[in-house]
Amino acid sequence: MAVELLETLKESITAYTGLSPTTFFTVVALGLAIYYVFSVMFGGSSDHHVQPRSSSFEESEPLPPPVQLGEVTEEELKAYDGNDPKKPLLMAIKGQIYDVSQSRMFYGPGGPYALFAGKDASRALAKMSFDEKDLTGDISGLE
């Protein structure tokens, strides 16, 4: 029975494809191999290609709660420039105060944006300027 089924399969392959069974299975195997190589190289949509997350992120300490200050003057804002590590790191843009403590490496002392901390940096950010004269909340004259 199995031999008859195999002979029928061989005849069907030859009749429908015009190829010998050996050539047919070689072409199918090459097609599957090429598909596998391309799916590995260019990624697939299946979940087995997802990189496992590192556990260091999960082990980090929880974020502190947001700072609630209410109305703050420019003089009071200067106390939150990052020089005191126990205080949050704040900056203002158009009168709105933002807690940038999570980005202390950028806005803290020695960071590339440290000059914005503890100040209203509206004009400097609007002009994309790092000049001390632009560290003000006055945005008049900008178009």
pLDDT in tens, 3-26: 999 899 899 989 998 999 899 999
9 domain-assigned: yes
Bridging pattern class, strands 90-93 and 96-99: antiparallel
Give me the pLDDT at residue 106, please.
Answer: 93
Name the residue range of residue 25's domain: 2-45
Is 97 within 8 Å of 91 (Cβ atoms)?
yes
Greatest C-alpha distance within the chain: 95
**pLDDT, tens digit (0-9, with 9 covering 90-100), for 76-105:** 899 999 999 889 999 999 888 889 998 999
Question: What is the 8-class DSSP label of residue 88?
Answer: -
Amino acid at 59: E
Give me the pLDDT at residue 64, please.
Answer: 66
Amino acid at 126: A
Count structural domains, the chain.
2
141 domain-assigned: no
From start to end of 1-143, where are the E strands? Answer: 90-93, 96-99
CATH assignment of the domain containing 76: 3.10.120.10
Give me the pLDDT at residue 52, please.
Answer: 59
Give me the pLDDT at residue 2, please.
Answer: 87
Q: Is the pLDDT of residue 61 over 80?
A: no
Q: What is the mean pLDDT of residues 113-121?
A: 93
